[in-house]
Copies of this chain bind each other. A is one copy, B any other.
Amino acid sequence: MSAPDVVTLLRAALGERVDTDPLHLDAARADKSGHAATGAPLAIVHAASVPDVQATARIAHATGTPIVTRGAGTGLAGGAHAGPGEIVLSMRAMDRILEVRPDDLLAVVEPGILNADLNRALAAHDLWWAPDPASREISTVGGNIATGAGGLLCAKYGVVRDAVLGVDLVLADGRLLRLGHRSVKGVTGLDLTSLVVGSEGILGVVVGATLRLRHRVPGATRTLTASFPDVRRAAEGAAAVTASGIQPAIMELMDAASLAAVHRLLALPAPAPGVAQLTIQTDGPAATAEAEALTEILSASGATVRLAADDAEADLLWRIRRSLHPAMETLGTTLIEDVSVPRSAMPAMFDEIARIERDYGLIIPTVCHAGDGNLHPNFVFEGDTVPDRVWHAADELFQAALRLGGTLTGEHGVGLLKRRWLADELGDDQWQLQRDIARVFDPTGIMNPGKVFAP
């Protein structure tokens, strides 16, 4: 069926929810990865209800038209790029909180709500949804589910997979499935909820989610920084923290290049050359005791440790970590990578990054969720397109992470950008098996085609 006919069918079914404004179509070509589809999609459907999603899927299915589901478009792997011949299904308008149950520690939400908006609403009940991607102010819960998002608090409080009890999923043919449950435990049949978490829009459209909540952690938090003469020793310091048995709420590592860039941006005194830094937050009833114990451990590891005296000082210390992305923008265009390795391999992974910097003549400022071994190397370059040299360097990064027992992506997903490396990690047999499983959900291959699995 020709493109105009598909749009005509969509308009007949969905009226003014169908958007063909060229500016909007152009925006849907890209996410925040810095890459974009070659041309504009057919139309955007701004779904307001589950039946809207089902109607869109039925038309797409009947006409063989691809659907690209989008939340806020903040992804970093090209998972929500939409191009010529594709329908964009925007879930952003489906942003209601349908239910909050403090007694059951769960909430039922629509996927378009922003993570931070949900958590502001939950705070009134003294509850929170733990996944806290850095994008939480601008990314949707549905997007967090689609990517299997992580964040800073994961080592202590888990990732999205740990915080979703069930999802409602519209299949490619428009049927609605209710996966998972409202109880804490449940093992009836296969765990399709976990399969949908992180599936990047290829299995169906998440139209609702039952989220597992936590009580907010009582008491004040404590924050400290530990400065090391080089990044390897900072990574070893992080390992010493893990080995101590103390579980910080947050433990972030900034290498010298990222720390220096942020200090420049914030007009703070420049750190000594090579200095890398851990920033750590403890929480809960033992927050102060743990912060004091960590101060001793890290000092013994050769760090200069500063325990924030009050919340104002702690906020300043966290502002340095949070200013990483704006600081990177001052350096040029960045490809934000996302490898994850076993915690013991962090020092070796930083060695590999230093080697790749040397071999390719690149600067790769790197921050790391050091509590869980998830590194975000930022490949900095000039211009709009990732140069081949940077992709070659990224390839070396991925191969190094795999050699160290790690993974291509800790929390951003595969999308378009990493699909060519997927079989390197999974192996050919598992790659094919995963693709066949996706085909059970979507036999004609209209759900976000070309993402995750290369065509």
Contact = CB atoms under 8 A, between A and B. Distances in A.
Contacts of A340: 181, 183-186
A155 B212 CA distance: 11
Nearest to A247: B215
Contacts of A410: 183, 185-187
Interface residues of A, number: 85
A101 interface: yes
* Oligomer copy total: 2
A218 B293 CA distance: 14
A270 interface: no
A91 interface: no
A436 B430 contact: no
Contacts of A342: 101, 104, 106, 182-183
Contacts of A189: 414, 422, 425-426, 430-431, 434, 452
A286 interface: yes
A273 interface: no
Interface in A367-395: 369, 371-374
B103 A344 contact: yes
Nearest to A219: B286
Nearest to A440: B436
Given A126-B245, A215-B245, A436-B440, A191 B198 contact: yes
Given A175-B429, A344-B104, A437-B437, A183 B242 contact: no
Interface string A283-306: 011100100000000000000000
Interface of A: 101-106, 126, 147-148, 150, 154-155, 158-159, 161-162, 175, 177-179, 181-192, 194-195, 197-199, 215-216, 218, 239, 242-243, 245, 247, 284-286, 289, 340-344, 369, 371-374, 405-414, 418, 422, 425-427, 429-431, 433-434, 436-438, 440-441, 452
